[in-house]
Amino acid sequence: MSTVAPKTVATSPAGRPSAARRSPWLHPAAKPLLFIVCCLPLLYLIWAATQDQLGANPAEALIRRLGDWALRGLCLTLSITPLRFISKQPALLRFRRMLGLFSFAYGSLHLAAYAWLDMGLEFADIAHDIAKRPFILMGFAAWALMLPLAATSFNRAIKALGGKRWQWLHKLVYAVIVIALLHFIWMRAGKNNFAEPAVYGAVIALLLGWRLLTAIRQRRAS
């Protein structure tokens, strides 16, 4: 028989579980489910590649779709903070790290696919291409800035850096998403296709604008 006292469940005055405990975001299966959902685009792309379902230029399609999911992941990562305030669900914050890491993973696969499928892993040619084409430079810069964020996304890194320094470092995500958007716009500019970049631009402007307004209000309140 266990000697550990049973855990108490937070209850409301009426004796029912509190709203925090009833939150679906606190369910033990929520994180594994999110992990599976984040893997689905990659699994689909692998299936599509093996079944010749990526169109006339499968290499280009694979590179671009991996990049699309990296940008979408960044948008989802930045949406967690406003969503938890608007919905009054602080438990949403527990998903931000996973979304950020998946954004980096898709960004890394995007870069790897470009280096392999487009450039044949010829690193001298890759370096020349980065220097020659501005939109490639923007994409590489976004990935390079994501690298320290992914490397310091764990609890040990937070303790080693200290909370304030860690927070300042992770504000680089704002620069990352702007540079990634510029990479996307520049890439689509070659075909005069600005409809999709405009949608991403509006979403990113809304996310960054919300943060700016929140910061202004906090300063005024203090």
- Secondary structure of the chain as H, E, C letters: CCCCCCCCCCECCCCCECHHHHCHHHCCCHHHHHHHHHHHHHHHHHHHHHCCCCCCCHHHHHHHHHHHHHHHHHHHHHHHHHHHHHHCCHHHHHHHHHHHHHHHHHHHHHHHHHHHHHCCCCHHHHHHHHHHCHHHHHHHHHHHHHHHHHHCCCHHHHHHHCHHHHHHHHCHHHHHHHHHHHHHHHHHHCCCCCHHHHHHHHHHHHHHHHHHHHHHHHHHHC
- Give pLDDT tens digits for 120-141: 999 999 999 999 999 999 999 9
For the chain, give every domain's residue range.
22-221
> What pLDDT is recorded for position 21?
53
pLDDT, tens digit (0-9, with 9 covering 90-100), for 161-179: 998 999 999 999 999 999 9
* CA pair distance 84, 143, nearest whole angstrom: 27
Place of tokens 């609890």: 155
Cα gap 57→62, rounded to integer Å: 9
Question: Which pLDDT band, with edges at 50, 70 and 90, does 180 fall under?
Answer: very high
Rg (CA), the chain: 21
Q: Which of 12-21, 62-71, 158-167 has the lowest mean pLDDT?
A: 12-21
How distant, in Å, are the alpha carbons of 164, 204, 212 from that of 216? 19, 18, 6
> What's the mean per-residue pLDDT of the chain?
89
109 touches 182 (CB < 8 A): no
* Cα distances (angstroms) measured from residue 149 to each of 82, 99, 157: 20, 12, 10
Cα separation, 110 vs 107, in Å, equals 5
pTM across the whole model: 0.87
